[in-house]
């Protein structure tokens, strides 16, 4: 897959950091504002997809992205299951919110609501890696070319 013209490349250079940053913002503020892990993860995956589509495979070295993608996919789902089982380890139920919710952490601040931001973070990592992996497999790596 080759890259596109200089106009597309320049616009992509300007836009990609903003999209990535918006994704991180949406994930981290998922328990305060509309959004959450799923939407933010899709935004981050969109930043990567835009970069690969504009610059092509060789320039972005997407071949080495495969290992990172599979690692962060597994890391995200592992983190989420770990947070869920953490309640069981402590002797309570699954998804027990063991961190401070309203006593130490004031509701409405960034560090509040216990494990909900951590769950959002795990979902964000997992969704971003999943969609980018599907994109790499389906569209770029020339596996569907000669069916």
Partner 1 sequence: MFIILVLLLVLMILGAIVALESRDLLSGIISLGIIGFALTVIFLLLQAPDLAIVQIVIETITLVILIAAVLKTTKTDTTDEIGLPKMTLWLIGLAFIVIFLISAYKSCQHLPEFGSPVLRMAQYYIDQGFAVTGASNLVAAVILDFRGYDTLGEATVLFTSVAGVIAVLRKVGRTRP
Residues in contact with partner 1, counted by CB under 8 A, come to a total of 56
The Cβ-side half-sphere exposure at 18, using a 13 Å CA radius, reads: 5
- Structure-block tokens of residue 89: 């380890």
Binding mask 115-134 for partner 1 (x = CB under 8 A): xx--xx-xx--xx--xx-xx
Any idea what the Cα angle at residue 90 is, between residues 86 and 94, rounded to 5°?
50
Under rule CB under 8 A, residue 11 binds partner 1: no
Q: Applying CB under 8 A, does 144 fall inside the site for partner 1?
A: yes
Could you say whether residue 12 binds partner 1 (CB under 8 A)? no
Q: From residue 129, give the alpha-carbon distance in Å to each of 34, 42, 110, 139.
A: 22, 9, 24, 15
Specify the residue, 13 or 94, whose C-beta has the smaller distance to partner 1. 94
Residue with tokens 């835009």: 50
- Binders of partner 1 in range 36-75 (CB under 8 A): 36, 38-39, 42-43, 45-46, 49, 53, 73
Query: Which 77-116 positions form the footprint of partner 1 (CB under 8 A)?
Result: 77, 80-81, 84, 94-95, 97, 101-102, 105, 107-108, 112-116
- Structural contact between residues 2 and 55, judged by C-beta atoms closer than 8 angstroms: no
Instruction: Please state, in angstroms and rounded to a whole number, the distance separating the CA atoms of residues 127 and 141.
Output: 20
Residues 6+ apart with CB under 8 A from 61: none
Residues lying near partner 1 in the complex (CB under 8 A) are found at: 26, 30-36, 38-39, 42-43, 45-46, 49, 53, 73, 76-77, 80-81, 84, 94-95, 97, 101-102, 105, 107-108, 112-116, 119-120, 122-123, 126-127, 130-131, 133-135, 137-145, 147
């Amino acid at each position: 897959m080759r890259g596109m013209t200089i106009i597309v490349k320049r616009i992509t250079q300007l836009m990609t950091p903003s999209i990535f940053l918006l994704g991180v913002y949406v994930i981290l503020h998922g328990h305060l504002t509309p959004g959450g892990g799923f939407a933010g993860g899709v935004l981050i995956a969109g930043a990567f997809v835009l970069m690969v589509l504009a610059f092509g495979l060789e320039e972005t070295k997407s071949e080495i992205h495969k290992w990172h993608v599979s690692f962060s996919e597994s890391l995200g789902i592992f983190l989420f299951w770990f947070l869920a089982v953490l309640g069981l380890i402590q002797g309570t139920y699954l998804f027990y919110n063991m961190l401070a919710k309203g006593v130490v952490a004031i509701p409405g601040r960034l560090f509040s609501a216990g494990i909900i931001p951590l769950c959002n973070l795990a979902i964000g990592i997992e969704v971003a890696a999943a969609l980018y992996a599907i994109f790499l497999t389906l569209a770029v790596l020339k596996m569907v070319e000669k069916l």
